[in-house]
Amino acid sequence: MLHDQGGDWIAFRVDSRYVYSAGGTLVGWCLDDQPDLVVGEGGSYLGEIVGDRLFRRTSPPFLPSTGYLSDPGSPTMPSKPGNVGYASLPSGMEEVPKDLLPGA
């Protein structure tokens, strides 16, 4: 389960690779050599997993060509967790814009 700064559930990870919004929409995948870096549709930077949070660098890192993600299909939806509480943003990071997380 991945949460925003306020502790609300916004996404979840499947098979340590695929990242879905809380609404069950595939939003990205994690790179094999950088398992906490999340790449969105078309290979663009989406954010990074920091513990149980999904944040985004204010200055996104350079990404080599990551290719495109083939749709792994619909996930098994987890039970909705409660709020986990507030967390400070790490230096140089911000919230992932909600429009990048449909259904969050």
| 103 within some domain | no
Own/partner contacts of 84-90, CB < 8 Å, gap of 24 or more, are 84/3, 84/7, 84/52, 85/7, 86/5, 86/6, 86/7, 87/3, 87/5, 87/7, 87/51, 87/53, 88/5, 89/5, 89/55, 90/50, 90/55
pTM of the model: 0.90
- On whether residue 86 sits in a domain, the answer given is yes
Q: Kindly report, residue by residue over 6-29, the tens digit of the pLDDT.
A: 999 999 999 989 999 999 999 999
Range of the domain at 16: 2-93
Structural domains in the chain (count): 1
Of the two residues 63 and 29, the one the predictor is more confident about is: 29
* Average pLDDT rounded to a whole number, residues 40-62: 93
Let me know if residue 33 belongs to a domain.
yes
Q: Residue 37: inside a domain, yes or no?
A: yes
Q: Is residue 102 part of a domain?
A: no
Give a yes or no: residue 35 inside a domain. yes
